[in-house]
Amino acid sequence: MVHDAPSVIAWAESPLQLIGAAEWAAAHRRRVPIAGRLTAQMAETADELLARGALFGRLEPYLGIPWKLLAENRHWLIGDGFSGQFRLAAAALRPERITLLDDGANTLAFADTLLGRRDYVRPGIRERGLTALAAPFALNRLHERARVGRVDMFTAFDLGADRREALTDRGIAVARHRFEWTRRTGERSTRRDALPTGRVLLGSARPVDGRLDLGVYLAWVAAEASIAPLTYLPHRREPAAQLDAIRAIPGVHLSARHLPAELVLAGAPEPLEVLTLASSTTTTLPLVLEGTGSVLRQWAPGSGRTERVLL
């Protein structure tokens, strides 16, 4: 039996956070309304999750803080604990219960923030203004709720025994998932688009962020495509100019769908060779592709390529 739970709201700002909300809803058999960031990929991801039967209630697209929905629902599922908007909302509205979903590798950093092992700042960002001012108030609210057992984490990431024990000591329960719902619904999805190749390269926004020279990045893609044709799954933040350059590389099939790799690859009927830079997908995809015999190859610029076999 599925239970409606009007006291719960998921505030998601990225496609991975939406998937986390769908996994939480399935694991708890509770229908969850969604306040989602208003972007094209968020809408496409939400449509795909609904088509697969996600237990979502009303979906409300938002820019900014969904004050009314948050005030009406005292249990918040939060994708981005570092968000300045979340800090302001938590300090002003004082939710009764907070469940932290995954926000990529920042999940580990936020766990350390809760434990006082690092400052309440997003990794690699210098914060100021209201975002910085609201931090101690939001963190105090999290600690208050944790002391009465009303903060928990729902994550695909292995936090390690030390973190888990320390979080438990502070009243923060940790529940892991392995994308069970995503894999199950992917296997039976009738909306699956057949991948044109068994080799898949995951797009990256590193050139956009200035963390990797675009020429070096394009040379890597071209080198992989020269070995054998590949399907390129764009990153949600890749600009049109970068994708045009990718499209022009011989042997590259650019995917037209802008969905998270976890959704595109879940339920793969045949083993895949997945090529990627270091990212949170090196944690999520081994879970999504578990048991398929697929191979994940991680490329490190300047130091060759490492291989990990997904069991």
Q: Within this chain, do residues 47 and 145 fall inside the same structural domain, yes or no? A: yes
Q: Within this chain, do residues 195 and 168 fall inside the same structural domain, yes or no? A: no
CA gap 295, 233 in Å, rounded: 16
Q: CB 247: neighbour CB atoms within 10 A? A: 12
The answer to whether 80 and 21 have CB atoms below 8 angstroms apart is no
Indicate whether 92 belongs to any domain.
yes
Q: Within this chain, do residues 156 and 238 fall inside the same structural domain, yes or no? A: no
Cα distances from 246 to residues 93, 213, 292, in angstroms, run 45, 14, 28
Q: CB 230: neighbour CB atoms within 10 A? A: 24
Indicate whether 214 belongs to any domain.
yes
Structure tokens at 120: 């309440």
The phi and psi torsions of 105 (rounded to 5 degrees) equal: -65, -15
Residue pLDDT, tens place only, 228-279: 999 999 998 899 999 999 999 999 999 988 889 999 999 888 899 999 998 8
Note the pLDDT of residue 206: 92
**Residue 307 pLDDT class (50, 70, 90 cuts):** low
Closest listed residue to residue 183, CA positions, set 47, 297, 286, 36: 286
**Residue 5 pLDDT class (50, 70, 90 cuts):** very low
Name the DSSP class of 103. B
Q: Within this chain, do residues 93 and 221 fall inside the same structural domain, yes or no? A: no
Indicate whether 185 belongs to any domain.
no
Helix (H) or strand (E) holding 287: helix 281-288
Indicate whether 182 belongs to any domain.
no
Closest listed residue to residue 24, CA positions, set 110, 152, 187, 213: 152
Domain end (from 115, 142, 177): 177
State CA 2 to chain mean position distance.
Answer: 25
Structure tokens at 4: 């409606």
CA gap 103, 266 in Å, rounded: 19
108-124: average pLDDT: 94
Residue pLDDT, tens place only, 26-49: 999 999 999 998 888 899 999 999
Note the pLDDT of residue 6: 43
Residue pLDDT, tens place only, 276-296: 998 889 999 999 999 899 999
The phi and psi torsions of 235 (rounded to 5 degrees) equal: -75, 150
Partners of 11 in the β-ladder: 35, 78
The CA-CA-CA angle for residues 75, 79, 81, to 5°, reads: 90
Residue pLDDT, tens place only, 152-192: 999 999 999 999 999 999 999 999 999 999 999 987 765 55
96-103: average pLDDT: 95
| pTM higher than 0.95 | no
Residue 304 has pLDDT above 70, yes or no: no
Where in the sequence is the domain holding 207, given as residue range(s)?
191-309
Q: Within this chain, do residues 57 and 198 fall inside the same structural domain, yes or no? A: no
Indicate whether 184 belongs to any domain.
no
75-90: average pLDDT: 94
Q: Within this chain, do residues 143 and 230 fall inside the same structural domain, yes or no? A: no
Identify the CATH number of the domain in which residue 228 sits. 3.40.50
Q: Within this chain, do residues 92 and 239 fall inside the same structural domain, yes or no? A: no
CA gap 289, 310 in Å, rounded: 7
Q: Within this chain, do residues 80 and 209 fall inside the same structural domain, yes or no? A: no
Indicate whether 183 belongs to any domain.
no
Beta strands in the chain (DSSP E): 3-4, 8-12, 30-37, 56-62, 75-78, 97-100, 151-155, 172-176, 199-202, 230-233, 252-254, 273-277, 295-299, 305-309
**Residue 81 pLDDT class (50, 70, 90 cuts):** very high
Note the pLDDT of residue 75: 97
State CA 161 to chain mean position distance.
Answer: 22
Q: Which residue has the higher pLDDT, 246 or 130?
A: 246
CA gap 102, 20 in Å, rounded: 6
Note the pLDDT of residue 2: 52
CA gap 23, 55 in Å, rounded: 9
At 164, the amino acid letter reads: R
Domain end (from 155, 177, 199): 177
Domain end (from 137, 155, 177): 177
Q: Within this chain, do residues 162 and 200 fall inside the same structural domain, yes or no? A: no
Indicate whether 244 belongs to any domain.
yes
Q: Within this chain, do residues 71 and 146 fall inside the same structural domain, yes or no? A: yes
Indicate whether 186 belongs to any domain.
no
Q: Within this chain, do residues 127 and 268 fall inside the same structural domain, yes or no? A: no
Structure tokens at 80: 């981005």
CA gap 79, 118 in Å, rounded: 19
Q: Within this chain, do residues 88 and 134 fall inside the same structural domain, yes or no? A: yes
Residue 303 has pLDDT above 80, yes or no: no
At 104, the amino acid letter reads: G
Count: domains in the chain: 2
